[in-house]
Amino acid sequence: MNRTKRKIFETSMKLFAEKGYDATSIEEITAEVGVAKGTLYYHFSSKEEIFNFLIEEGMNLLKNSIKIKIDKQEKYIDKLRAIVLIQIKIIAKYENFMTIVLSELWGNSTRSKTCKKYVDEYLQIVKAIVQEGINKEEIKPYNVDILTSEIFGLACTSLLRKKNGEIKVEELYKELDKSFIQNLRRGK
């Protein structure tokens, strides 16, 4: 991604998170980036395309980060630990992205459906790991759909744990591991 496109992308993400998609205009984006409308339209055909690109890129980053980490783990409980840690790190580093996803997730708009589609794709990855862990008797048997949602929800609520503008990733992760993840291990 070239510098101008990245600046449009990052500025749009910031404005969508702060003001909401509907309240953000193309004019505001171009003014903050410092480019003409024609330059923006050279990179993106519409505000909707910016939004879709933002959601796709962010969710791909999350999915790819998870895949890299879980592929290095043999035990399924460790795969779940890796998932939770990556989710918290992504949320801490890309708070604006997660704010947009979570705020647009509800409803029936095209944007809501886009967010749901990408979140569902991500949850299917987590669900497969949970199911395999249960099948291999490493994870206690649970309702897989509910457990998968709980894992995602735990990380998402870490946005609420911000103190002085930051999420203490390792501290939060250790607490979630102790209070939640360790209790999923079969034999406990």
Number of domains comprising the chain? 2
User: Quick one: 130 and 177 in the same domain?
Assistant: yes
User: Quick one: 59 and 17 in the same domain?
Assistant: no
- pLDDT for res 144: 97
- pLDDT for res 9: 92
User: Quick one: 2 and 82 in the same domain?
Assistant: no
d(CA 25, CA 15): 9
Check: CB of residue 139 under 8 Å from CB of residue 130. yes
pLDDT per residue as tens digits for the range 93-113: 888 999 899 999 988 999 999
Top pLDDT among 132 and 170 is at: 132
d(CA 185, CA 173): 17
- pLDDT for res 58: 92
The two tokens of residue 179 are: 């209070």
User: Quick one: 65 and 158 in the same domain?
Assistant: yes
Reported as a pLDDT band with limits 50, 70 and 90, residue 91 is confident
46-62 core/surface letters (b: 16 or more CB in 10 A; e: else): ebeebbbbbbeebbeeb
pLDDT per residue as tens digits for the range 123-155: 999 999 999 999 999 999 999 999 999 999 988
Range of the domain at 39: 1-45
User: Quick one: 71 and 115 in the same domain?
Assistant: yes
User: Quick one: 99 and 177 in the same domain?
Assistant: yes
**Which pTM does this prediction carry?**
0.88
User: Quick one: 37 and 63 in the same domain?
Assistant: no
User: Quick one: 100 and 38 in the same domain?
Assistant: no
pLDDT of 162 higher than 70: no
Question: How far from chain centre, in Å, is Cα 27?
Answer: 27
User: Quick one: 174 and 130 in the same domain?
Assistant: yes
Check: CB of residue 1 under 8 Å from CB of residue 53. no
User: Quick one: 76 and 12 in the same domain?
Assistant: no
User: Quick one: 37 and 70 in the same domain?
Assistant: no
Top pLDDT among 112 and 187 is at: 112
